[in-house]
Amino acid sequence: MSESSLDSRPRAALKESDGGARRNRLREFQAQLVERMQAASSGAQTQASKLGVMIGETRWLLNLQEAGEIVSVGAVTPVPLTRDWFLGLINVRGNLVSVIDLARFRGMAATPVEKDSRVIAFAPSLSFNCGLLVSRVMGLRNVADMEIQAQPQAPSADSPWIAQRYLDRDSHVWNELNLSLIVQDPQFLQIGV
């Protein structure tokens, strides 16, 4: 064996072990998140625990019973003659899932796709193969620790699917997104131009 092959051997093993350790940590994190989401959705904390995400510059809370799988953005296949907020389709475990930019849908700046960006697929119980592009997943949030914000007299005509607004201890506003209502919104369903 040459001296150079001996020197490269430990580096290769180190790279493999770093990659393997990183994959193991990622798997452990995902498993813990799934366990916590399942425990929260089946237990008494269903109403208190919500999945916190950033969409553009806005903080959102998703009901754990309505939020499905969290996946990396990957390659989104654009669909011609669709609205600018309909980003296209991705393949999630053999299922085609529509990707929506909620910020753009609401008339705001487009959500940039960065390394922390994810797609939150809708739960299978909604029977709607769709996912929301999020800037980042912020983990579970307990709304019992937040202050409910006053709602207007009537739900906003442009976003009746905002169930509630909360203020956290750091004075950040969180909007609770009702996915079962947004899939009934005629504007949300009309993706064609």
Q: What residue segments make up the domains of the chain, in order of their start?
A: 1-42, 47-189
Closest CA relative to residue 182, chosen from 125, 137, 122, 140: 122
Q: Stretch 68-84: mean pLDDT, rounded?
A: 95
Digit-coded pLDDT (tens) for 161-185? 998 999 999 999 999 999 999 999 9
Task: Specify which residues 50 forms β-bridges with.
Answer: 63, 141
Identify the pLDDT of residue 138: 95
Query: What fold characterizes domain 47-189?
Result: OB fold (Dihydrolipoamide Acetyltransferase, E2P) (2.40.50)
pLDDT tens for residues 101-154? 999 999 999 999 999 999 999 999 999 999 999 999 999 999 999 999 976 544
* pTM for the whole structure: 0.73
Instruction: Calculate the CA dihedral of residues 53, 55, 59, 62 and round it to 10 degrees.
Output: -50
192: nearest Cα among 53, 72, 81, 46: 81
Q: Is pLDDT at 91 greater than 80 in this prediction? A: yes
